[in-house]
Amino acid sequence: MPTVMVTGASRGIGYEFARQYAADGWDVIATCRNPEGSEYLYEIARKYDGRITVERLDVLDFGSIEALAEKLKDQPIDILINNAGIMGPRRDELALQSFGTMDYEIWTRILRTNIFGPMRVAECFVGNVEASEKKMIANVSSRIGSNSVKAPVFAYGTSKAGLNKVTTLMAEVLRERGISVVALCPGHVKTHLGGVDAKIEPLESINGMRKIMEEFTIERTGEYINYEGNVLPF
Ligand X SMILES: NC(=O)c1ccc[n+]([C@@H]2O[C@H](COP(=O)([O-])OP(=O)(O)OC[C@H]3O[C@@H](n4cnc5c(N)ncnc54)[C@H](OP(=O)(O)O)[C@@H]3O)[C@@H](O)[C@H]2O)c1
Interface with ligand X includes 101 (CB under 6 A)?
A: no
CB atoms within 10 A of CB 144: 17
The pattern of x and - marking residues 10 through 49 that bind ligand X according to CB under 6 A reads xxxxx-----------------xxx---------------
Compare residues 100 and 226 and give the one whose CB is closer to ligand X.
Answer: 226
The pattern of x and - marking residues 141 through 170 that bind ligand X according to CB under 6 A reads -x----------------------------
Q: In this chain, which of 198, 207, 220, 234 binds ligand X, going by CB under 6 A?
A: 198
DSSP assignment string, 53-99: EEEE--TT-HHHHHHHHHHTTT---SEEEE------S-GGGGGGGST
Non-local CB neighbours of 231 within 8 Å, separated by 6+ positions:
223, 224, 225
Compare residues 151 and 169 and give the one whose CB is closer to ligand X.
Answer: 151
CB atoms within 10 A of CB 127: 16
Applying the rule CB under 6 A, the residues between 50 and 89 that interact with ligand X are 58-60, 83-86
Q: In this chain, which of 88, 157, 162, 194 binds ligand X, going by CB under 6 A?
A: 194
Taking alpha carbons only, the member of 163, 83, 81 closest to residue 125 is: 81
